[in-house]
Chain A
Amino acid sequence: MVFTTNTVSISQGPDPRSLIQKERAESKFNPQKMQYFLEGSKERAELIKQLLQQMERDPILFTDGSYYDFTKDQLRALTATKINRISRYLEGDSIDVFNRRLSLLGVFDPAVSTRIGVNLGLFISCIRGNGTYEQLKYWALDKETATIKGIYGCFGMTELAHGSNIMGLETTATFDKANDEFIINTPHIGATKWWIGGAAHSSTHCTVYARLIVDEEDYGVKTFVVPLRDSNHDLMPGVTVGDIGAKMGRDGIDNGWIQFSSVRIPRFFMLQKFCKVSRDGEVILPPLEQLSYSALLGGRVMMVLDSYRMLARMSTIALRYAIGRRQFKGDNVDPDDEEALETQLLDYPLHQKRLLPYMAAAYVVSAGALKVERTIEETLAELDDAVDEDDDAGIMKAIDAMKSLFIDSGSLKSTCTWLAAESIDQCRQACGGHGYSAYNGFGKAYNDWVVQCTWEGDNNVLGISIGKPIVKHVIAIEDDGKVVKGSSDFLNQLKDYTGSNGSKVILNNASDISDVKKIIHAIEIAIIRLSYEAGKTVRKESFDYVGAELVNITKLKAHHYLLSEYVRRVDEFDDSELKPYLYKLAQLYGATMVLDKFAGIFLTFNVASTGAITDLAKINIPQLCKEIRPNVVAYTDSFQQSDMMINAAIGKYDGDIYENYFGLVKQQNPPKDHKAPYSAALEAMLNRPSLEQRERFEKTLEAGEILSK
């Protein structure tokens, strides 16, 4: 039975396309409307689609499967071309629109967005955070950095021997009173600026984090604008820059290292919003040093948003594949029916359990990302206003807000970037061998992504530093009856759930677990009891002793934030038809990402009973997965990521998995090249003469006879 469609087949091949289309047609809700929830509002959602349409039609910014075959050198050149192209959009966009554009670009081409991000994000944010308004205006606007013109900045913070500990950086900026200059110097190899994005080839200037030394006194780390290259793009004297070379990912970025050998800059190149050095070498220090690190906050907030989009992209690919792919005949197939087709991967309960939680996480994280994004905008605006008006009370209030933003953004950044990394890896594994093909996006996504867990605040370091104040709060509540305010105010329940109340169980059974508000409450109690226990150890030993627990506290805190905000958003969402579908995801998220993952903690501290955890595995999770399963296509379509954003042959909208994939493979690797360029060597090896011949027959019996005579 030969039949012809696009090609000639001898028998009926697999038909993933119809499977996906059928499920799409049977969806119970409208993905467009769901998208409005995910993006916060109709306006924001439509703006995003408009920007994406512009970029997917743009001849230079457009990305497709060919992207996965580029070498490092090609990617770097392409990235530079894209930066050139996007600088033209930048000239017309408002700053908000451009930031949005950049964040979207980051999903399908992270190298471009990061390489621009070090200039417009880190470099300018650092000047904004540490420089005066005039300094910002000069470097950003007069010198046109803000439109990627004239000069190009990089962010000279980390050094070869110092990454996380910024206060310990060793580059020096010594004030030379005679010449009214600073001398920037790299005292030894350990202080070589390292990992500096854009330094190897692009940057003309660098905001250098260096120790301010005046009259032999060390005032700690401050920031200085140091020119690296002249207007001919040649290196300045005393500046040595090198390429950092091959990396795990982000090949499009020219990370470099920098050594300064007595490089002189004028005194007014120091950023002096908070710290000033006068002509006579008098130093005025900032009211609150940590304010100067606000440059990093924007990045952390952005990474939460990135995590949402990454979770969305990965779960879309893996779930479309899981619907289109059939393998084995599972329990849903009549074993006696010989004609029966194999089971769709997503009809296996284990496969549901492996993937659906990440889809739910995309939804839940989207809510947290929106909230923290809104908070930072408000907080930075308040701070700027207060500083401009010299309003001390305003500054102090903004500083308080900044502190809680540090906690929230830090716990979210670490938890969400880890979660997204895990989702890429798990979604890849769920696509079996095809997940390993570069054309399906996972490998590059993973390699590009995982640095998010390290940079701009290493996740473990953040985990410790966020967990610590929580434990301190708990100790203060116990000792001094302190009342905690802000997003950690649930800690005030301490006495109701510790000591003689330490074994009060919150989740007793399946019905408790299906109540998201109870799960949120349970997370609170788990944090309280874990912190209380950690506090006891801290009193005996030290904070260092409970590092592992602090990281867990931070993760639970992030889940608490995310889930609470998500439920709040769902509660006030005006489309009541969608609510039940949204609520299901909160239940699944709570059951899998929180209870299942932290079951040991919930059991150890009696927050959940053993019966509840048994029900969780046996009843709640399978049941929720089953309920969510029929609308999976609609749930993932709701992310509204076009094929270019997805950029995975097996994850396209039309679901024609095999044709799309095979087509791309053939396009990228024309089968007519069926001999390798090095084929001659290979053939020579196979057709080599025998060992005896290659040994000139010197070891034969015959030779042996002659030689032993």
Chain B
Amino acid sequence: MALLAKTKGFIKPEKKEVDQKPKNVANVISNKTPPNPAGDIAKERARTDWDPKEMHEFLEGNEKKSNEVLRLYQSIERDPVLQTKAEYFDITQKEERELVALRINQMTKFIETEPYKKFRRRLQLMTVIDPSLGIRMLVNLGLFLNCIKGNGTQKQYDYWAKSKESGVVKQMYGCFGMTELGHGSNVAGCETTATFDEETDSFLIDTPHIGATKWWIGGAAHSATHTVCYARLIVKDIDYGVKTFIVPLRDSQHNLLPGIAIGDIGAKMGRQGVDNGWIQFTEVRIPRFFMLQRWCKVNKHGNVTLPPLEQLSYISLLEGRVGMATDSYRIGARFTTIALRYAVGRRQFAKPGKKEESQLIDYMLHQRRLLPYLALTYAAAVGTYRLEKEHDLLLENLDKALATNDKLLLKNTINSTKSMFVDSASLKSTLTWDAADLIDQCRQACGGHGYSSYNSFGKSFNDWVVQCTWEGDNNVLAMSAGKTIIKNVQQILNNKKLKDHTMEFLNDASTLSKAKKAVIRIKEHVDDPERVLKAIAGLISKFAVDLIPISHQTWDAIGAQRVILSKLRCHYYLLESFNDKLEQDVKAKSPTRPHLENVMRLYYVTNILGPFIGEFLRFGVISPKVASYITQQYPQELCQKVRPYVIGLTDSFQQPDNFINSLIGKYNGDIYNNYLGEVKSINNPATHKAPYSEEFEQNLKRVALDEREHFSKTAEVAKKLSQ
């Protein structure tokens, strides 16, 4: 206090003048003109010289699908249960689980009334805004039922899916009992046992030890009544490897069956709305006919018939991978929209000589950080549309071939199954990784505001990243795709060309791998997508040829290289699709065309040529003379071409506010009012003391240390005690 008392001016004059400075009154009173991000965004929106709907049709593949997606967006944004709300970013794990259960209930209303394909599209869109809902329904409708479809007979499928109504989420709820505590990627190594008991004509399902505890099973903790259990078939002491069995977990009163122990797996990084659980089976008895026996059968005498085409049983895994690749496009669209709207509306730092600050997007570095992701999202849209179509066709042909016993069609289908395994694996792994990076980078590009939950990045990242791990760990998948690519190249070098295969472009591998001359030698070469495709093909060929000798010794040692090959394969697929679609579907005079051409170039320069420049140079596919043009100058030029149209290019994703679900990313661009307004409505400033405020205040007002020490450490006491 002494300091205050001494200071002149401490005694306050009685009268205070009111601030007379002019203020402007709009929705609130401001003393100066507030920032106007909405104005900036509206101005740039006006630049759009194409019809966003037309662009949307390009992105979604065709007009019909575009219409369907838009109608579904509308249905979801109006649905009181399915729509998003900013306040949901505040809910706890328990509340989120309940919300998801309510949404599942709401979704069942649609599954019973709309065409199944439309429902699946609805579920796919819901997955983007509520990934927990998506996977919690998909473990039942996707994994559980696909497993039965893939491994069970048609009668078995009809029984479980239709008679027992699990296909419409009724009576029973299935989960997918594959992974164990000690085994994830190596499914063939699962240790749960299904031992045939001839006497009672049943299987005994058993968890032999802690490592075989079923783990991560989505829906097991609270929802599931049944599981498809991956277990080792043991008949007369012979281990026939891992097969699948339907095991009931809960009775019709939803109580656990005897011998079943189930627990909640608890807190996770994300997907809090999913009730993942663990399961232990202790001598659980199921009738013999609960085994799924499309390919492998056990008769009542214990005779085992093994499948002729076991690989077909894995086809059921493809759907999830294809779905995740498509998810990557939509999540990419959502987050590039948020980050780019913010980058247009936000101003920071003034350039020399300028009074007004610059829009973030006018910084070249900001363009280089975001626009490559925008371009990637466009490429992913087109590529995943193609993947979806090829997958549909494959299933159709397979069903047809099996139904009509058409051997030739079956053989061809198996061929395309092989390329679908590589394509879906490399697209799933590459794109889910890229999407994870995209969310993270877009968040960073929104600075501090990216860290607020209400702008959606945090939750989406946490919910997203498991996509890189489940249904085929990205590294494991990429390595297996890479392995097939190397084997294919070897086969081609042995003069066995690929047929009915999406990688026929490698049929020239022999020539490509021997080419002395670089494919891209001068700047002009970079403008030609066909040449760029040839360069990627050349790189894959040379790379693979280089690895073949090592692969004869060890595959493990070239794991990292196999991952790179898988990524290159993905990008070839995307670029090829993009270029084909542009040539086939977009008229020369369409106003979208010049923009799409720029976006495509930006895509391959910044997502393929740039990131893999080390490999391109090392194998002499790109000449060193153009290297810095490709990594530095050209990306900048392309960014500047795309820059003026970023609002139109993101508007073309046609995702409504409710779907975007981000306060700083709304269509009207009124960033600050949207953000502060909602933050205030969710966190009412009237409650300005914390619930625990008393303890905190007590701490600040605590008595002095001496007193709390009973004055027993004072100099006075010291004197007494030392006498």
Contact = CB atoms under 8 A, between A and B. Distances in A.
B31 A188 contact: yes
Contacts of A326: 182
A254 B688 CA distance: 11
A663 B697 CA distance: 38
Interface in B645-683: 672-673, 675-676, 679-680, 682-683
Contacts, number: 436
Contact of A160 (B557, B559, B610, B676): B676
A72 B450 CA distance: 19
Contacts of A670: 263
A41 interface: no
B210 A677 contact: no
B524 to A, nearest CB: 19
B714 to A, nearest CB: 15
B22 to A, nearest CB: 12
Nearest to B265: A665
A373 interface: no
A545 B461 CA distance: 31
A438 B269 contact: yes
A95 interface: no
Contacts of A438: 266-269
A293 interface: no
Interface in B96-130: 97-98, 101-102, 104-105, 108, 112-113
Contacts of B554: 331
A701 interface: no
A351 B191 CA distance: 24
A391 B675 CA distance: 49
Given A331-B556, A604-B617, A683-B254, A433 B692 contact: no
Given A436-B466, A682-B101, A443 B182 contact: no
A521 B223 CA distance: 61
B31 to A, nearest CB: 4
Given A200-B690, A201-B693, A248-B457, A671 B89 contact: no
B454 A246 contact: yes
Interface in A408-438: 425, 428-429, 432-433, 435-438
Interface residues of B, number: 159
A512 to B, nearest CB: 16
Contacts of A160: 672, 675-676
Interface stretch (A32-40, A122-130, A469-477, A685-693): A685-693
B133 to A, nearest CB: 14
A334 interface: no
Contacts of A200: 683, 688, 690
B700 A681 contact: no
Contacts of A178: 13, 17
Contacts of A11: 191, 208-209
Given A622-B557, A681-B101, A681-B102, A179 B90 contact: no
A7 B210 contact: yes
Interface string B625-642: 001100111011000000
Given A604-B624, A613-B618, A149 B267 contact: no
A245 B679 CA distance: 7
A264 interface: yes
B388 to A, nearest CB: 26
Contacts of B363: 544, 547
B364 A548 contact: yes
B269 A443 contact: yes
A244 B683 contact: yes
A87 B682 contact: no
A655 interface: no
Given A247-B452, A350-B563, A686-B171, A68 B267 contact: yes
Interface stretch (B32-40, B318-326, B405-413, B578-586): B32-40
B490 interface: no
A453 interface: yes
A321 interface: no
B511 interface: no
Interface in B181-215: 181-186, 189, 191, 193, 206, 208-213, 215
A687 B692 CA distance: 43
A223 interface: no
A599 B269 CA distance: 33
Given A81-B695, A350-B559, A328 B185 contact: yes
B221 interface: yes
A178 B9 CA distance: 10
Nearest to B475: A350
A349 B613 contact: no
A485 interface: no
A446 to B, nearest CB: 7
B679 A257 contact: yes
A491 interface: no
Nearest to B100: A678
A250 to B, nearest CB: 8
B355 to A, nearest CB: 11
Nearest to A545: B364
A235 B693 CA distance: 13
A138 B90 contact: no
Given A148-B699, A262-B19, A245 B350 contact: no
Contacts of A148: 699-700
Contacts of A14: 182, 209-211
Interface string B530-542: 0000000000000
B468 interface: yes
A349 B557 contact: yes
Given A148-B699, A202-B696, A686-B172, A190 B672 contact: yes
B643 interface: no
Contacts of B689: 201, 233
Interface stretch (A362-370, A455-463, A630-638): A455-463
Given A68-B267, A600-B631, A164 B618 contact: no
B154 interface: no
B211 A247 contact: no
A317 to B, nearest CB: 14
A168 interface: yes
Interface string B156-185: 000000000000011111000001011111
B262 interface: yes
Nearest to B357: A168
B462 interface: yes
B711 interface: no
B511 to A, nearest CB: 21
Contacts of B265: 437, 665, 669
A179 B12 contact: yes
Contacts of B618: 603, 610, 613-614
A243 B555 CA distance: 55
A31 interface: no
A15 to B, nearest CB: 9
Contacts of A659: 210
A109 interface: no
Most buried by B among A76, A248, A438: A248
A617 interface: yes
B170 A686 contact: yes
A83 B210 CA distance: 40
A288 interface: no
B264 A669 contact: yes
Given A342-B189, A460-B444, A267 B9 contact: yes
Contacts of A185: 19, 31
24 contacts: A10-B208, A13-B210, A71-B93, A161-B347, A187-B32, A189-B676, A201-B689, A243-B679, A243-B685, A245-B679, A247-B453, A248-B458, A248-B459, A425-B436, A544-B365, A545-B636, A548-B635, A606-B624, A671-B262, A678-B98, A682-B101, A685-B105, A687-B171, A687-B252
Given A68-B266, A77-B692, A187-B31, 12 more contacts: A7-B210, A242-B688, A254-B690, A266-B10, A342-B186, A428-B465, A451-B448, A604-B628, A665-B264, A682-B101, A682-B254, A688-B170
* 5 interchain residue pairs of minimum CB distance: A547-B365, A443-B269, A248-B458, A350-B559, A13-B209
